Amino acid sequence: MTPASALTPSDDRCPVCHEPTPAETQLWTLRSHHRTSEGEVEYCVGSCGCLVILVNGEMVKSFPVERR
């Protein structure tokens, strides 16, 4: 790993597995969404492979990517 001295310091890390995710690769893909009595539920998969579940834009559950 080389120091990211050329990059502007930021908190661009996956909130689930804490892998550094540079802005250009920080992609959360919306897999599906439903409207429930609790609000809008969204399932997103990160570029690192983690799955997060959001309710009304707030992360309520996270599933780290499985590494073998």
Distance CA 43, CA 4 (A): 31
Residue 58 has which token pair? 């707030």
* Closer of 44 and 50 to Zn ion (Cβ): 50
Strands of the sheet containing 39-46, edge to edge, are 28-36, 39-46, 51-55, 58-63
Nearest to Zn ion of 49, 55 (CB atom): 49
Instruction: State yes or no: residue 48 binds Zn ion (CB under 5 A).
Output: yes
What is the three-class DSSP state of 52? strand
Q: Quick one: which of 16, 44, 52, 54 contacts Zn ion (CB under 5 A)?
A: 16
Residue 45 touches Zn ion, criterion: CB under 5 A? no
Where does this chain bind Zn ion (CB under 5 A)? 14, 16-17, 46, 48, 50
